[in-house]
Amino acid sequence: MDKTLAAAFEPRLLEEWARRRPDGRAVTLYFGGGTPTALSERTLERLLPPILPVAAEGAEVTMECNPSTLSDSKAHLLRNLGVNRLSIGAQSFDPPVLRALGRTHSPACIRACVETARRAGIVRINLDLIFGVPGQSEESWRATLRAALDLAPDHLSCYGLTYEEDTEFFRRLQRGEMRPAPDLERRQFEIADEALGAAGFVHYEVSNYARPGAECRHNLDGWAGRDYVGIGPGAVSTVAAVRTRNGPILRDGSWEVAEREELSPATLAAERIALGLRTLRGVDEAVFLRDFGFPLRAHWRREIARIVEEGLAAPAPPLRLTRRGWLVADEIAQLFL
């Protein structure tokens, strides 16, 4: 973002925040969008103080971080302003894999970033890692997991590489330069499950692992179907059964609501199941009955019987997937949507 666009962006972001901020105290705040730590310290000093005061005592305040953008002074600033959790986009500790992903940082840069955060007093650390990258071997993935564990984070997010439209990965896929390897990706998923479980991490959501008690509360709220407010270009909000999505940033630094959808009770119920099935806890059937007024096993009897019969879901309540089911969680979710 150039300086002119940034100058126009900042007041509009704060204006949207003033208009849409929650009435009560926020139990989680999440500063995402990729690399908010790439913003200058002066910009962060202008943006964060109007937002952070809504955080309740003990709130989880997370900021996403590019490993190459965190200096000692910036880390201390974030901690002093109230950021208490950092999610670092490490992706891999294997230089060839980082190059394949188009990342410019090095493994040494990731280690330095973690050390910088801890010196500043930010002790809750998540590392984002990616598997299923073309050319990434099982041993490369094992080595990345070992290197990540050596840094003693309390949370790890392990994502399979996705090919989304309008991304360089998708264009390379179309050109035949990259080819998905589903069998290898499944094996690497299993490797992470085994290695991180042995290290004491709880696999509490399909892509997320945490030391006991260090689960990401912000994400847990989302998977439980609770309301959330997003501000900024591309941000999504769901409040009182209305979902909105902001459009991209325009040349003048503004953005508009691009989509607005009133969610029906049926849609909300289906989404509650699809999201809940991604978690270790599964779907709390008593809470579902309370919120929607009907038992989910009666409504989706055929679908549930099918995934139980195939060994993809546990037979007894709560409704939750087995490890085999997690490997195809997205496909299972489509049965309920």
Q: Where are the domains of the chain?
A: 22-218, 265-337
At 142, the pLDDT band (50, 70, 90 cuts) reads very high
At 175, the pLDDT band (50, 70, 90 cuts) reads confident
Q: What pLDDT is recorded for position 19?
A: 93
Beta partners for 55?
26
Per residue in 69-109, pLDDT (tens digit) is 999 999 999 999 999 999 999 999 999 999 988 899 999 99
At 171, the pLDDT band (50, 70, 90 cuts) reads confident
Domain 22-218 and domain 265-337 have a common topology: no
Location of structure tokens 């299923």: 132
Q: What pLDDT is recorded for position 169?
A: 65
Mean pLDDT across 281-302: 95
Beta partners for 85?
62, 124
Mean of per-residue pLDDT scores for the chain: 92
Inter-axis angle of helices 72-81 and 107-119, nearest 10: 50
Residue pair 23/56 in contact (Cβ under 8 Å)? The answer is no
Residue 315 has pLDDT above 90, yes or no: yes
Residue 6 has pLDDT above 90, yes or no: no
Residue 8 has pLDDT above 90, yes or no: no
Query: β-pairing, 236-239 with 242-246?
Result: antiparallel
Residue 173 has pLDDT above 80, yes or no: no
Buried b / exposed e along 272-281 (16+ C-beta atoms within 10 A): bbbbbbbbee
Per residue in 190-239, pLDDT (tens digit) is 999 999 999 999 999 999 999 999 999 999 999 999 999 999 999 999 99
What CATH number has the domain spanning 265-337?
A: 1.10.10.920
Per residue in 34-44, pLDDT (tens digit) is 688 988 999 99
What CATH number has the domain spanning 22-218?
A: 3.30.750.200
Taking residue 91's Cβ as centre, other Cβ atoms within 10 Å add up to: 24
Residue 178 has pLDDT above 80, yes or no: no
Q: What pLDDT is recorded for position 285?
A: 95
Residue 168 has pLDDT above 70, yes or no: no
